[in-house]
Structure 1
Amino acid sequence: MANNKTADDTPLLEVSNLRVAFPTRTGMAEAVRGVSFTLGREKLGIVGESGSGKSMTGRSILRLVPSPGQVTADRLAFNGEDLLAASPRRMREIRGRRIAMVMQDPKYSLNPVMTVGRQIAEAYRVHSKAGAAEAKRRALEMLAAVRIRDPERVYDRYPHEVSGGMGQRIMIAMMLIPDPDLLIADEPTSALDVTVQMQVLAILDDLCSQRGMGMIFVSHDLNLVASFCDRILIMYAGRVVESCRASELHAAQHPYTRGLLASLPRIDEPPGDLPVLSRDPMWLEA
């Protein structure tokens, strides 16, 4: 299953002055404002609060911004190819085959009336033109690669018959079966408990290493991204306010990043106490 893609100095993805705007009654509202970064075959984390432009940045790379949204950039290139100049047909070839995206709560992106195995096999056939037997074989291999026990049994199950964690793994298998060069994971673990979350991240980490993929990992969880990714972008109000190596996050300088770090709970500090309802809290007495 390993893909020996070789790393070189050529960026896998180049993004320069990316902007996403939507028309409103009072003018154009920019959801993404001048975002710039490059990505190699590494894991890049994008962190920020809801509405900061994280997901819209990922969608714009694949030109999946809903109408009437407008995407512009000085440069938006994948392996040197201008994505903004690509035809709709060319973008259909790139989506899934070259760049894959796992959406938020991916289990609910599955077709409820098709078995999960058929859906994975169909994703392979669309991009490879393989026969049914070959597609099923590859689908079973991918189910095993994402650490699903008894792939033959799970292959014939419907989405409502699998757990949340298994649904996440199935979607990851479906996105990775065409062997893309870049995976965009939009909060793929947000609906999972901590144990399953760690299992899914370990799977993604192994697959990235084995296949030589680049990855954009979108999340609200700063601790999670810092432990999983190589580099981090902090977004606020559509802009990148800080960019650093994950190992250097503790030295972040921007006030917003410092605020995010300060808001993380610490096990070496006692939790705050609930107010005593028989008297007003101090902040009400002031």
Structure 2
Amino acid sequence: MLRFKETAFALALVAFVAGAGVAQGQDRSAEADKLYERLEADFRVDMEKAMEAEQAKVEAWQAAAKKAKAEGKPPPAMPAMRMAPPEDLMTKHLGFYEKAAAQFAGTDEAIRFLQMFIMLGSMTKEKERIGAACKTLTTTHLKSAQLADAVQAISMASMLIGDEESEKFLRAVETGSPHADIRASAILIRATDKLENAPVKSAEYAAAKKDALRAAEIAEAPAIKQEVQSIIDGREKVVGGKVAPDIVGVDLDGVAFKLSDYKGKIIMLDFWGNW
């Protein structure tokens, strides 16, 4: 990936966007690839700088706390840490992706820039601009096979974009895309939350399951069909009152075991992670 100083890159981007007409076909794709790499690299550099600044705050606090301890004084309060990227950083890069999408407006090359704009924008307060980008995807690019990645990206950012905007986008894709797997993905994404979280015997779960099975029926890709079955099995086979699946593994001493080996005994299962 290419790396640019902030000012130099901004000037290069402005020159690129303001340049003469863009070549067609393969040249256009290569030009979009190059710009996307530049945007990605510059964003990574800025994010690394922001993370380094936060780390410096921690190290300064640690040094101050160590000094206070040596002097028999109470330690200073730990500084507040950012839980999200700086707003000005996100706003700056939003502008870059927005200009890039405008440069390739009306072509499939714009999709990836709009997708990144929405992903970054979901971490800001730019709700109207995000809505406009989603609308562009569903009005200008609805028939494109390249919309698949955008569907997945918007589903990942739905909590931040807002359920209403995400729902509107997914329904438009579901009814308007000519590509079976993209339609199936949109249906499954809409159904997944309730399919995974609603009580199994509830009307919400039943409706979500119906949608998920419809997605599996529409889908051509085996992976989508398998995902639907996996989610449903996970909800319906592991429920109170039913025999648990026979977990197979190796204990801390390297000895193989099965859950069924402990039938009739009280078992505590400890599920953990290191997030």
TM-score, shorter chain, exceeding 0.5: no
Identify, as 1 or 2, the structure richer in strand: 1
More helix by share: 2
Q: Compare CA radii of gyration and give the structure with the larger one.
A: 2
The higher-RCO structure (CA 8 Å, 6+ apart) is: 1
TM-score by length of 2: 0.32
Give me the TM-score of the superposition, normalised by structure 1.
Answer: 0.31
